[in-house]
Amino acid sequence: MKAVLLDRDGVINALVHHQDAGVIDAPFTRSQFMLLPRVPAAVRLLNDLGLGIAIVSNQPGIAKGHLKPEMLKTFERMMIAGIRKEGGHVDRVYYCLHHPEAKLAKFRQCCRCRKPEIGLLEQAAADLQVSLSECYMIGDGIPDLLAGSRAGCRNIFIGRWKCEICQFTEAPHVRPAFVAKDLWEAVQFIRTETNGTRKVALTPSCLPAQT
């Protein structure tokens, strides 16, 4: 494996409960943007393993009128700066700004870059000069899993695997190779595989959902 493709919200930075809208979503303001624990150290470890790193993220907030383009760039600067404090770096950052129900007409479209489509992943792999089959796709949502599977990547899911996710992903081959509680744990799995000490597929079973 030569590269890691990372979703952003829920993997790199924390999701936010927007009480006014009653939804959990990406941050909309500077004060809401926070890197998740151990993310900078995880990114640095990927650097040390010699793997390319690209962020591939659906970001429809501008299209929906939640934030301005300048704020998205501010989030990116904060992300890069936080990772650099630990000596790590991200090679590429890609966003899909589109949404089929966007308030802003120029972003209202069904595109090839919005996950679960694979346009972002294809662009990242091309720029990193790797094949998609040589990439891990790490995400916390069904679109990430579907995009990674369609692209031929090795999927890692961040979060708690539930039966509902099995049902939405429809096909067994979409299920991830590994389920991790956070990026740090996911990178430990990658390190194990990269070092060749253990080659296992930790595909989760579909267990009854717990409340």
**Active-site annotation, residues:** 7, 9
Q: What distance in Å separates the CA atoms of residue 72 and residue 198, rounded to the nearest whole number?
A: 39
Residue 42 has a CB neighbour count (10 Å cut-off) of 27
Q: What distance in Å separates the CA atoms of residue 187 and residue 170, rounded to the nearest whole number?
A: 26
CB 132, CB 4: distance < 8 Å: no
Q: Under 8 Å CB-to-CB from 47, ≥6 apart: which residues? A: 53, 87, 88, 89
CB 182, CB 160: distance < 8 Å: no
First to last CA, the chain: 37
CB 38, CB 165: distance < 8 Å: no
Residue 176 has a CB neighbour count (10 Å cut-off) of 27
